[in-house]
Amino acid sequence: MTTDALTSTSYKWKHLQAPAKKNGICTPSQVELKAHTVITLPRLVNAKLTKDELAVWAKSLKKLLSHENLHYANHQQAFLEITQEANSFEAPCNGFRAAFSKAMKVVIHGHIETDEAIDKKQSTSS
C-alpha cells in the first residue's frame, strides 16, 4: 500500500507569429493551448483490512482527493492565465518566440509556488 498522491498537469502551446506592426512589435496569432491533468491516488492492492481499517482508509482517501482537487483547481487557473497572457502578448519581433515562451513559464512558475503553498499548508495542518 502506498499513500502518495499526485496531481500533474502538462501545458503545451503553439502559435504563429503575426506580421510585425509598424513599431516592430509582434503578437501571436492562432494560439493553440492544451492542458492535460492527471490525478493519481493511492490504491489498495492485495490489502487485507478490517472494517475499521477500511473506514480509516476511505476517510484518508477522501482527504487526499480533496487536497489534490486544490492542485487541480490551481492548474486550471494557470491554464486560464496562460490563455489570457497568450492572447494579449506583444513583444519585439526579434526574439519573439523566446519572449513568448518565457512569459508563459512565468505564469506557470507562479502556480508552482501556489502548489508548494498548498502542500506546505497540508503538511502543517496534518
> 11: Cβ–Cβ under 8 A, 6 or more apart, which residues?
33, 34, 35, 78, 79, 82, 104, 108
The pTM (predicted TM-score) of the whole model is 0.78
pLDDT (tens digit per residue) in 83-96? 899 888 999 988 88
Question: Between 5 and 22, where is the model more confident?
Answer: 5
| Spatial distance between the Cα atoms of 4 and 67, rounded to a whole number of angstroms | 12
pLDDT in tens, 54-105: 899 999 999 999 999 999 999 999 999 988 998 889 999 888 889 988 998 9
Q: Report domain extents, the chain.
A: 6-125
